[in-house]
Every structure is written in C-alpha cells, then in structure tokens.
Structure 1
Amino acid sequence: MDDNLLKPVPEVTYLTSNIAWRYRAILRYFYLQHEQLRYYLFPEEVLEYLKESPHFADYTEENLQQDLNQLVNWKNLIPRQDTGKVYSIEDFKKKRFRYQCTPYTIEIERMVQRLEQMGQSFGGSLEKTFFIRILEALLKLTPDTGEDIYRKINKLSNEELNMVWDDLQGNFKNLTENAADYLAYLQSEKIEEMMMTEAFLAYKDALTEYLRNFMTVLQRTSFRIEVLLERIPAELIELIAGRLADHYLSIPRLEEQPSRDKLVQNYLLQWQGFKNWFLGREGRDGDLVFLQNATTETIRRITRFAQRLGERHHNFKSRRRDYLHLAEWFNRCRDLKEAHKLSACVFGVFHSRHLYAGVKETENIYAEIWHEKPTELTLKPRVRTYREKTKTGAVESHQEEKQQLLEQYLREKETEQRLIDQIIQGDRIVPAELPQIDPFIRKTLLNWIGKCMTNPQLTGKTENGRLIRLSLIDDREITLRSPDGDLRMPNYLIQFLN
C-alpha cells in the first residue's frame, strides 16, 4: 500500500469548516480568476468581490486577512510578497502580499464545480464512437500480418506515439466512466419511478434504440479489439512504454521528475488494466462482458416496464361505447330466439358439449361425419376405489440389441475421427486450405469455433478433451465447400495445444 494513502489531505478542510461559506467564496473567486489566467490576487480585490454579496455586508479587512492566513496554513493559498511598488522601508516591512491558488485547490474547486452541475442524478452516456476510436488507435500500434513488429512503431515519432497513447487511454477512460454512470442512472430509484408513469411510453422506443445501437457497435468492434490485443507482443509494449517515458522526460519541468523506470512501470500498468478490461485475467471474464450483460438486462427491464404500462392502460380503458353498440344489436333482435343466436356469436355457447372422435380415416375435406365409422370408447367409473386390473409380465432382456447399437455407435465415431485426422496438418487446421469436406467436419469445426469464441482467451476443448486455440489469420473471407453447399467465414486458424 502506498504511504500517501495514509496521510491526511489538509487542502479539503475548508469544505467542512464551521465557516466554510467564507472560505468557499474566497477560493471560488481565486479559481475563477485562475481560469482567466490571473494567477495572483491582492487582498483588496478579494474584499471588493466579497462586498458585492449581501452575505458579506459586515465582513472587514481583518476578517479577510484571518481567513487568508488560515487558507495559507491549510495549503490552499501561496503568499508572495509584492516588492514592485515599494517607496520606503516602512512599506517593505508591511509585507504587502499577493496570493495564488495551489494546484490541489484548483483541482478541488474544479471537482466541486462539476459536482454542483451534476446535481443528484448520474450523468454519463453510452457513446458507441468510443469503441471505434479505441479500435483506430490500436490499429496504429498493431503490426500487420507478416510485418515486422517494430516497423510500424518506428515510423512514429515519440510525440506522435504519445498522441496515439493519449487517444487510446482517454477514450477508454471516457468509455468506462460514462458507461458506468449512465447504467447507474438508468437503474436509479428516480428513473424507475419515472418508468412507471405514462409519459415513459413516449421515450421507450428512443431509449431502447439507443441501447441497441450501442450493443451493435460493441459486439462488432469488441471482437476485433480482442484479436488485436492478443496479437500485440509484450516486448512491443515495453518498447512503447520506454519511448513514452522518454517523451515525458523530454518536456522541461522545474520540479523534480520521476525516474524513467517508474514512468515505464506506470505505462505498463495502464496497458495491463486496459487489456484486462477486454480480455479478463486468471480465468475471469473481463469487464466488457459485465458491460454487455448490464446493457442487455437494462433493455429487458425497459421492455418489461413498457409492457406492464401497456397492459395497465388497456385494462383501465373504458369499453362503454363497445357495450352501447352491442346493446343496440340486441335491441334490434325480433324475438328471444334471435337474441340467443346473437349471444352465442358474441359470447360463445354457454352450455357446450365436448365430443371426441378417433383418427380420421380419410383426407377428403368433403366427407361428412356420419359417413365415418363410429368410435368406441370404454368409460371408466369415476370413483376413487376403482383400479384397473394388471397382469404381471416377465422382464425381457435386450442385451443383444444394446450391444449392436453400441458397436454401431463406436463404428460411426471411429469413422468421424478418421475424417478429422485427415484434415489435421501437424498440430493445426487451416480451413482455407481444406478441399471439399464432409458436412460432419463442417459442423465439428463450427462447434469448435463457437466454443473458442465464448472464451476470452479464444481457447476451448474438443469432444476428446484436446485443448485448442482459435486465431484470426487476416481480415479476408474464405469459402468452406461441402457437398450440400458452401459456407463463407473469416480466415481462422485452429491450433491444438496438447
């Protein structure tokens, strides 16, 4: 654990003080002026600003000086003596100070301002363009098939490489933070209450379409990103981290800079966190899977809410006009018999008889029922004590039939295994190089590919327990030919690991 985590942060004390309203007003003015590139302020400027508010009507110069001194003690302000307009030794002894915000204070005020604008609800969004930008940044770092792993990186200067890295990590950070906030927003109690109102039906389609578009781009790009992450070797990332550290150290800074090894380690940790988010680690699914599941569950929840609202709206709908129209029909009936017929058509037969007939012997649609042979039924007594008579039978042995079926099954499996062994070249199967294959082999290959794609490491096991790995050779499509048809599929490679 880092020792800095155990130290207090005095810079945030002003937010919880008894007179926090005074300290916050002072530091907010310093922050606003800092954003306008005015870094040093005199006490009289601050006092003039505070006096504009009725809350500081009785605020004096002595109060301001006490507050400024306290903020200096909490390391929120840095005092600097102004010696530019001194005309006597007495003026110099008065120590007229200018004050500047510390970097901690600027970041704290920036965070507080964002919290004020955020309100009590989550923000965020599910921007599908983040995945596209991450994929574009990875393509700039990933060597092409058959290309030297260092060739593409050597074409980029340290500054260009830093820009690609910032784009990659920045888009990744925005993706994770915005997605987490938006899903938390949709699952908040306030939004659930709004989903129970009739007004939610107007936004249901737009919201569902928004989530589905995000899921479509996620599924389309995440697989390519995972393939690229598997393709990038560790030594290439170490080279990139070293060049990024050199670029950081090349920027002139007056304060003490961290060591190169520490910077390289930080970049490697950033890459490992990015890779684990997509691929997972130690057999666990990555956070990408959790994001996909959470988005899918949100779509289902929205659909359920909309369905319940529709059902409730339908139940509460008045059918008064329908009943009046139906009453007019009955009123026009000439007698009771005609009214009974109308009732049977509208409401159905009240006392219907259930008739049973056996299997129809003819397919002639014009055959009448009385032309068919009658069906004989044996009626059983409806009493609890009635039991049918049973006759004990002998136990028959089907051992020979079982043995024949087992031998037939083993022969089929042996034949299928020989077909598979014929297409294995060394320890791999390249579908693009296969001739016309049996439909059974095609079904087996697709089954293996499906098992590998459900695993973040793109590995799986065959029916015989052999471990296989799936990899993408290039982006072109191949044709897998069989007697019953052709199948177009990506150019995969299946490798046996044991």
Structure 2
Amino acid sequence: MAGATDAGQPARETSQGPRPFAHINAGNTGLYRGIMGAFASAKRRFTIHLRPEDVQHHLRQSGQQSPEYAVIVDALAQLCGWGNLRADPDTSRVTTVEEFHRARFLYQLTVEGEAAEEALAAYDAALGRRGALQSVALVDIVVHLRALLELAGATEPDVARVHLSLNALAGRFRDLADNAQAFMGSLQRTIELQDAEVEAFLAYKDRLIEYLERFIKDLVATGAEISELVLELERRGVSALLDVAAERESADAAPDGTDDFRGREFARCRALWAERWDGFHAWFISGSGHASQAAILRGQARAAVPRMLAVVAALNDRRAGRSDRSADFRTLARWFAQAPDDAAMHCLWRAAFGLHSARHLTIDADTVDAREQRPVPPSASWADAAPIMISPRLRKTGRYERRGRPNRVIDRTEQRRYLAELAAKEAEETAAAREVLLAKVGAPTRLSDVGHLDPDAFRLFLGLLGDALAGKTPGRTEVTTVTSDGSLLVRLTELANSGVAEIRTDMGVFRGPDHLLQIEDPMAWREAAS
C-alpha cells in the first residue's frame, strides 16, 4: 500500500501539509473509515493510544471484514502520512533484541484528524436529521422568559441566575429553530415523494396532519404569550440583563498582553448577546414590512396540509387506474422512442399537439398572387419569410368584417358633464373639511378638545383616524402616517391614563380612548421653504 515503508515505518506528511480528508476519496475508503471509527470510539472511552491489534479487534467486533495485520499496519502508516494519526515508538512490550529492532508504534489521533472526524460526524448527523416541531420548547421558552422578567424587576438581580436563564433561553430557542427548519425540509421531501407505498403513506398522512394541527394551535397560543413577555421584558430593560451576562462571560477572559483586553472582551460578548436577542425578537414579533419567523413557520405548516392532501388524491387516482398528464407524457415518450423514422415522429407530433402552420389564416387573392410571384418554401423560417399584415379583427374573430349593422354612436356629453360637476363638488367639500380639521387640530390637540364637527369634516376625520390606528403596532405609543395623496400628515400619540374622548356631530356622539392628535399640511411646509 502506498505511503508505508517496508519496515512498517509510518509515512511522513507531504510538503503540502496535513490532508485529513484525503482518505475519503482514496481507493480503500471503507478500511480507512473503519480505522478512524476505532480511534473515535477509543476517544469517547478516554483511550489515547491504540496498537494495530487493537484496531483489528475493533473492526472484528463492529462486524466489519477484518483484514490481515500487515494491511492494517500499512493503512495506519498511510493515515499518518495524511496527518490523521500520529505514531510514537512502542517499547513497552520489548523482551528481546529482535523485538527492539522491529518497528512497533502506538497510534493516536492528531488535532487535524480529530477535527476531521468531528466534521464528518456533524455532516452525517445533519443528513440524517429529521427535525421536529417542538411544542415543549415553546413552553420552556415561556418559563425562561418569566424567570428573566422576575429578575429584571429585582433591585439587585442574581448574576448567576441571569446568566444561566439567558443561556438556557438561547439554547432552547436554538433547538426550536434548528429542529423546525430540519422538519419543514424533511416534510417537503416527503410530500414530493412519488414512489412511496400507498398504504404506508396514507397511514403516515393521518398522523402527520394531526401533528401539524397540534403544533399550529400551540404556536398560535404560546407564541402570543411569548410576544407579550418579550415586549414587557424590553420595557423593563432587557439591556441590563444582557450587560450582566456579558460581564460574567468576559470575567474569565485570559489576558493577551494589552491593557484593555477586558473591555474588548466585554464588547464582544455584549454584541453577541444583543445579536441573539434581536434574532429572538424577530422570530416571534413581526416588524414593519416583514413578518416574524413564527408567522412564516405557521404559514408553511398550514400550507403543508393541502399539499399533503393533493399527494393523497394523486395516489388514490393512481391506485384507481385513472390516467394523469405525467402518465400521458410517459406513454407519448415511449411512442416516440418506438417510431421507425423521422417522418413517423413528425406525424405523431402533429397528431398529439396539433401545432400546424398558421399561414392558411391569411390566404386571400392578394396573398395568392404574391405567393405565386415569390413562392415561400414550407421550410422557410418565420424570421426569413416576408411579413404579412393581419387585420386585428381577423386575428380576433377569424373574419375581416363584422357582421350585422354597425352600432350607434352614443352621445355621453351629459353624463360626462354630470360626473365633472360631481367631482368638483366632492373636491370642494373635501377641501372645506380639510380646512376645518387644520383649524381645529393643526397643533397637537386632545381628542376630547376637538368639539363639534360637521358631517363632511367628521367623515374625513374618521378616515384619517383609521389610517393612523391601522399603522399602530404593539408597543408603539406614537404613530405618524401620510394620506395616500400626500396632502395631509397625521400624528397620533397615546396618552398615559387617558380617559374617554367624546366628539359631537349631527349624526350622534363619537366616543373612544383619548389621544393627542395633530394634522398638518406638508404642502404648506414646501411653500414656506420655497
């Protein structure tokens, strides 16, 4: 075997440096992976060194085909050459001079070999991971958030409890996000599977739909509680808790020879905790312009149910013998493969799809004369053939002229005049209502101080108030919005301990929570600036 000397001396690393992944593409990959598995198993048992006979015993115990002793020695030497293993002289069992001069080695994993094994184990685990929608994780997150909320309200929070609670919250949330992503990926592959056993798939379908419905219900109920806890925790000051966790982590930082190493380590830990909290916030709470990850996951889980039912319907149709489009195309493909020549294929194509030439639609006396003078062969490309002018009516109906009497031209002058007058009147009423509102609430004014409004002004007021309230999200006390035409700017501010505001109109009394309202005209700003 290449890489081993005749005396069993391990091969030296090449000038290119260690190549711990080279054994994956080697010719004897199975043996190399078995040997590296023996060292990984010994590492888990806290065993450092292995002899060739130990490796041979492990291969035999694991059910693999155990090669000869010399083959294992050569494979160990090759792995040493790639940098996966390190060989040390073994003199512990030497009893004669001949045994002393015979090369014996103890092998152990190198740093590069151990890192390669961990990477390959993580790769295999990721490929075989199914994932899960963890309702229990949602409950655990609620428990950790309540504990943090209690700590945030304390005068001097327990540093250890804060750090442990944040670490537990981050770990549980990481498991929830990773498992949900893996589950939705495996679910999509399951739905797209076309060659599954019908009975097994139908039985799996019932359990899966029940599982999805239970998780969606838990996500809706528990997700709302998590959102409220997150907002309450941010109002009480989650930044102080993140500072405590970052300070505790940076306290064990090893000095690096500079004076400000503790400050730099604290800044790094603080930025890491801030990034984790921002991700946690965005996972459960929707922001302006984008939905939360919990809402997206809920939508994907709901969409998976009808896709699953569609696959079940397709399987039932297939089992009942009904033909679908994919089966028709496969049959047509077999017919094309069995066609004796190109002419038969062309006939089959025309019969199946009916894509004939459309030149006959434009044949008239002028076209016939033009084709007689300058004939166009059937094989001519559309790009090379002379253009043909086609009437739009011919393209739409297949005839040059419309049958029957022409339609009478209707004079709609009176209707247009009426619509113009109606539009002008509405514009005047809107302008008057806008002036009334600007006069009453041009400066910040409480809703309880607005007073009486006429019907037109009240109608405009309701529309502006509705736009402002629609743009208000949980946790915000002030919202600013602009009307669709850009003519008015509305600023609505929530008041602490506000009472009930009443606005009297000709149609009745409008009541609601008292707010601070201001309506401004942006056009007036531009005119003043100019």
Q: 1:293, CA displacement in angstroms? A: 4.0
Aligned match of 1:130 in 137, 154, 162? 137
Q: 1:272, CA displacement in angstroms? A: 0.9
Q: Does 1:237 align with 2:242?
A: yes
Residue of structure 2 equivalent to 1:301: 307
Over 3 Å counting, the alpha-carbon distance change for 1:196 and 1:33 in structure 2 is closer
Distance in 2, matches of 1:462 and 1:22, equals 71
After superposition, residues 282-321 of structure 1 pair within 5 angstroms as 287-288=293-294, 290-306=296-312
SS of structure 2 residue aligned to 1:268: helix
Residue of structure 1 equivalent to 2:525: none
Q: 1:24, CA displacement in angstroms? A: 1.4
Instruction: Structure 1: state its 5+ residue gaps.
Output: 1-6, 251-257, 317-382, 426-437
Measured against aligned partners, the alpha-carbon deviations of 1:323-358 in whole angstroms (never above 9, x if no partner) come to xxxxxxxxxxxxxxxxxxxxxxxxxxxxxxxxxxxx
Distance in 2, matches of 1:69 and 1:307, equals 58
Q: Is the 8 A contact 1:285 1:456 kept in 2?
A: no
After superposition, residues 63-462 of structure 1 pair within 5 angstroms as 63-79=71-87, 97-102=105-110, 105-106=113-114, 108-109=116-117, 112-113=120-121, 123-142=130-149, 151=154, 154-158=156-160, 160-188=161-189, 191-193=192-194, 197=198, 200-220=201-221, 221=223, 223-224=227-228, 227=231, 230-231=234-235, 232=237, 234=239, 236-246=241-251, 261-262=264-265, 265=268, 268-269=271-272, 271-276=274-279, 278-279=281-282, 287-288=293-294, 290-306=296-312, 384-386=403-405, 392=411, 394-395=413-414, 397-398=417-418, 401-410=422-431, 422-423=445-446, 448=468, 450-453=470-473, 461=481
Measured against aligned partners, the alpha-carbon deviations of 1:389-443 in whole angstroms (never above 9, x if no partner) come to 5664653634655444344445666777869965469xxxxxxxxxxxx999999
Q: CA RMSD for the aligned pairs? A: 5.5
> What is the one-letter code of the residue matched to 2:137?
F
Q: Does 1:17 align with 2:36?
A: no
Distance in 2, matches of 1:103 and 1:392, equals 91
Aligned match of 1:40 in 29, 49, 54? 49
SS of structure 2 residue aligned to 1:385: coil
* TM-score normalised by length of structure 2: 0.55
Q: Is the 8 A contact 1:195 1:305 kept in 2?
A: no
Q: 1:200, CA displacement in angstroms? A: 4.0
| Identity fraction in percent | 18
* TM-score normalised by length of structure 1: 0.57
Distance in 2, matches of 1:494 and 1:218, equals 36
Q: 1:265, CA displacement in angstroms? A: 1.4
Q: 1:178, CA displacement in angstroms? A: 1.5
Q: Is the 8 A contact 1:452 1:470 kept in 2?
A: no
Q: Does 1:30 align with 2:32?
A: no
Over 3 Å counting, the alpha-carbon distance change for 1:392 and 1:34 in structure 2 is closer
Over 3 Å counting, the alpha-carbon distance change for 1:274 and 1:155 in structure 2 is closer
Q: Is the 8 A contact 2:501 2:511 kept in 1?
A: yes
Measured against aligned partners, the alpha-carbon deviations of 1:356-401 in whole angstroms (never above 9, x if no partner) come to xxxxxxxxxxxxxxxxxxxxxxxxxxx9424565664653634655
Q: 1:101, CA displacement in angstroms? A: 3.0
Q: Is the 8 A contact 2:464 2:490 kept in 1?
A: no
SS of structure 1 residue aligned to 2:75: helix
Distance in 1, matches of 2:170 and 2:462, equals 41
Q: Is the 8 A contact 1:277 1:286 kept in 2?
A: no
Q: 1:172, CA displacement in angstroms? A: 2.4
Q: 1:234, CA displacement in angstroms? A: 4.4
Q: Is the 8 A contact 1:448 1:460 kept in 2?
A: yes
Distance in 2, matches of 1:416 and 1:235, equals 44
Q: Is the 8 A contact 2:52 2:69 kept in 1?
A: no
Residue of structure 1 equivalent to 2:336: none
Distance in 1, matches of 2:517 and 2:218, equals 29
SS of structure 1 residue aligned to 2:108: strand
Q: 1:243, CA displacement in angstroms? A: 1.2
Over 3 Å counting, the alpha-carbon distance change for 1:277 and 1:155 in structure 2 is closer
> What is the one-letter code of the residue matched to 2:183?
Y
> What is the one-letter code of the residue matched to 1:12?
F
Over 3 Å counting, the alpha-carbon distance change for 1:21 and 1:444 in structure 2 is same
Q: 1:309, CA displacement in angstroms? A: 5.9
Q: Is the 8 A contact 1:196 1:309 kept in 2?
A: no
Measured against aligned partners, the alpha-carbon deviations of 1:56-113 in whole angstroms (never above 9, x if no partner) come to 34332xx434433443444433455667778899988878654333465456445545
Would you say how many aligned residue pairs link Structure 1 and Structure 2? 391
> What is the one-letter code of the residue matched to 2:132?
S
Over 3 Å counting, the alpha-carbon distance change for 1:294 and 1:108 in structure 2 is farther
Measured against aligned partners, the alpha-carbon deviations of 1:247-292 in whole angstroms (never above 9, x if no partner) come to 5769xxxxxxx97734751562354155246428997666555434
Residue of structure 2 equivalent to 1:55: 65
Q: 1:170, CA displacement in angstroms? A: 1.8
Over 3 Å counting, the alpha-carbon distance change for 1:169 and 1:51 in structure 2 is same
Measured against aligned partners, the alpha-carbon deviations of 1:36-60 in whole angstroms (never above 9, x if no partner) come to 3333333332233346667334332
SS of structure 1 residue aligned to 2:404: coil
Over 3 Å counting, the alpha-carbon distance change for 1:305 and 1:135 in structure 2 is same
Q: Is the 8 A contact 1:246 1:260 kept in 2?
A: no
Distance in 2, matches of 1:29 and 1:227, equals 51
Q: Is the 8 A contact 1:479 1:486 kept in 2?
A: no
Q: Is the 8 A contact 1:77 1:100 kept in 2?
A: yes
Q: 1:28, CA displacement in angstroms? A: 0.8
Moved more, 303-312 or 212-221: 303-312
Over 3 Å counting, the alpha-carbon distance change for 1:200 and 1:38 in structure 2 is same
Q: Is the 8 A contact 2:447 2:501 kept in 1?
A: no
> What is the one-letter code of the residue matched to 1:48?
H
SS of structure 2 residue aligned to 1:100: strand
Measured against aligned partners, the alpha-carbon deviations of 1:434-459 in whole angstroms (never above 9, x if no partner) come to xxxx9999997776455344999997
Over 3 Å counting, the alpha-carbon distance change for 1:287 and 1:105 in structure 2 is farther
SS of structure 1 residue aligned to 2:69: coil
> What is the one-letter code of the residue matched to 1:268?
A
> What is the one-letter code of the residue matched to 1:242?
E
